[in-house]
């Protein structure tokens, strides 16, 4: 499986062969859904917290005597059926939402997503993205140049989650140059995951000959 490789000026510099095991898998919606669901659950931070009847203030005294008043029996105003009482089965901040994800399943889900994105023309291979010093203006020029490649026009116009630039190794100049771009994220290729790739339209892989060596 061959694909084109470009430079940061948007010009084709050559071709490279991609692994069928990584970029040639059929779409598996069930696997991807399961892995993404578990990853989202693991990243969940419980914030909402309601108080039970044992935590709300007051209500230690029995509201009225058990019998003889003609009213329903009650033992405490902390009861969930009272206004100001505790909450039954409400959200708790101590709930554990973490779930185990099979490592092989997570890897295969990532490769499945990469295969689909390649088929749909949403992965761009660039030989290098380099800068001598942090400059947002130069970073913008790079994005505009890559957006001139047929099929990648939305790189320059999409305002949210346009692309992940997956570097073989992060550099301070490149990271700082793109950090003010709300639609571009910088990450090392070895750290990408199914959720991050799905949340962005394009994936820009730099130095693919070297960075894809760990993808087997």
pLDDT at 107 over 80: yes
pLDDT by residue (tens digit) across 112-149?
Answer: 999 999 999 999 999 999 888 999 999 999 999 999 99
pLDDT by residue (tens digit) across 144-196?
Answer: 999 999 999 999 889 999 999 999 989 999 999 999 898 999 999 999 999 99
pLDDT value for 11:
93
Virtual torsion, Cα 100, 104, 109, 115, nearest 10 deg? 170
- Domains (range + CATH), the chain: 2-28+100-214 (3.40.1370.10), 45-96 (no CATH)
Give me the sign of the Cα torsion angle 70, 74, 80, 82: positive
| Lookup: tokens for 49 | 């917290």
């Amino acid at each position: 499986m061959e694909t084109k490789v470009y430079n940061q000026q948007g010009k084709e510099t050559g071709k490279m062969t991609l692994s069928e095991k990584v970029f040639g898998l059929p779409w598996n919606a069930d696997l991807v859904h399961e892995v993404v669901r578990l990853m989202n659950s693991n990243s969940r931070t419980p914030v909402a917290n309601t108080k039970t009847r044992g935590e709300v203030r007051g209500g230690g005294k029995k509201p009225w005597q058990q019998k003889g008043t003609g009213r329903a029996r009650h033992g405490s105003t902390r009861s969930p059926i009272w206004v100001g009482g505790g909450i039954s089965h409400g959200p708790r901040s101590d709930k554990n939402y973490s779930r185990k994800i099979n490592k092989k399943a997570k890897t295969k889900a990532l490769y499945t997503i990469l295969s689909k994105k390649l088929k749909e023309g949403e992965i761009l291979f660039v030989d290098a993205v380099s800068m001598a010093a942090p400059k947002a203006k130069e970073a913008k020029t790079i994005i505009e140049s890559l957006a001139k490649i047929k099929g990648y026009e939305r790189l320059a116009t999409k305002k949210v989650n346009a692309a992940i630039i997956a570097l073989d190794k992060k550099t301070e100049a490149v990271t700082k140059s793109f950090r003010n771009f709300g639609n571009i994220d910088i990450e090392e290729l070895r750290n990408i995951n199914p959720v991050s790739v799905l949340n962005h339209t394009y994936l820009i892989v730099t130095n693919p000959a070297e960075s894809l060596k760990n993808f087997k």
